[in-house]
Amino acid sequence: MIRPDLLLHETPKGLYCPPGDFYIDPVRGAVDRAIITHGHADHARAGHGAVLATPETLDIMAARYGEAFTATRQPLEFGETVEINGVTVWLAPAGHILGSAQVVVEWRGLRMVCTGDYKRRQDPTCRRFEVVPNTHVFISEATFGLPVFRHPDDRGEMAKLLSSVELFKDRTHLVGVYSLGKAQRVIALLREAGYDRPLYIHGALETLCTLYQENGVELGDLRPATLEKGQRGESEQFRGEIVLGPPASFNDKWGRRFPDPVTCFASGWMSVRQRAKQRGVELSLILSDHADWDELTETVREVDPEELWITHGREDALVRWAELEGRKARPLRLVGYEEEGD
């Protein structure tokens, strides 16, 4: 079998495929041909010559960067294959956000899978992660790649929010969510939990919520969390309601108008107490769109690749774990990935 790094290897611009002449989620500067795993800004950048991605990811990029985000859009549905300079490429669901995909690259009998970001649990806003069988090299993210990271059940976290709403009927619950992925997942989980009152959203969430709804994700009755003319007493209407907005908006004029708010934040990082404290979060909701330690290790066992490459965060612990399991593993030092959306 050929050496895997002939098919995919790190470059300063990101993960590159020499025979196919394309990059996967290039992080630095524009390239001629990019395959994009999902719409978060650290993976999906504007300005590439051609972009191959799921139709949902292409829509998300157009919504965020404008229709001219690339010269050529190449939509690829899950399971469809395409040949790029003799390299076979297809996409498998990654379970991270709407449209998120693992990129499967095949050449001369070698199959490599690049996960992008992923999680294993069921999420009402996107297709669930699928294990790609017979994978030789599995390139896994490791954003939460430490044994201390064990995300609790999402329904339990939503129940925490709903009982607080029940308890503090006179206060506004101001829930911090990133605009792509987390916002829609929190809304969909609240609907699943039976919450059918209107939900009020910051203007920054509107476009993407609409895009999700157009893609068949049920979000129920969403209303703008805006006040008409700043009239006195106007903000009283939000007492007892749930308002969602980007965390950064809480300290600006928009966030300060809500009466006696309970400040909440839905993020995987809320498991780190220090972070919740720094942000002045009153109610932290641990809700991550990334695999936690158990999901990472279970996924590696299930995929059972010949080689594991680890990227995106805490590579070292997972490399050590893999070596103890008798697996061949190495860190892939790709710079530029941050933690947008978690």
The helix/strand/coil state of 138 is: strand
Name the phi and psi angles at 141, rounded to 5: -70, 160
User: Cβ 98 to Zn ion, closest distance in Å?
Assistant: 11
Nearest to 103 by CA among 63, 65, 130: 130
Instruction: Kindly tell me which of 149 and 258 has the beta carbon lying closer to Zn ion.
Output: 149
Per DSSP, helices labelled H in 221-263 are: 253-256
Give the 3-state secondary structure of residue 331. Answer: strand
Contact positions toward Zn ion, by CB under 5 A? 40, 117, 337, 341
Least Å from the CB of residue 170 to Zn ion: 37
In this structure, are residues 71 and 46 in contact, taking their beta carbons and an 8 Å threshold? Answer: no
Nearer to Zn ion, 117 or 295 (CB): 117
Q: Which is nearer to Zn ion, 94 or 105 (CB)?
A: 94
For the beta carbon of residue 316, count every other beta carbon within 10 angstroms.
13
Here the tokens at position 132 are 């790609």
Pick 285 or 334: Cβ nearer Zn ion: 334
Which lies closer to Zn ion via its Cβ, residue 118 or residue 254? 118
Q: What's the token pair of residue 211? A: 């895009």
Comparing CB distances to Zn ion, the nearer of 96 and 171 is: 96
Name the residue among 120, 103, 142 with its Cα closest to residue 298: 120
Shortest separation between residue 43's beta carbon and Zn ion, angstroms: 6
Q: Compute the least distance from the CB of residue 25 to Zn ion, in Å.
A: 8
CB of 153 to Zn ion, least distance (A): 21
Shortest distance (Å) from residue 171 CB to Zn ion: 32
Q: To the nearest 10°, the Cα dihedral for 80, 336, 97, 241?
A: -160
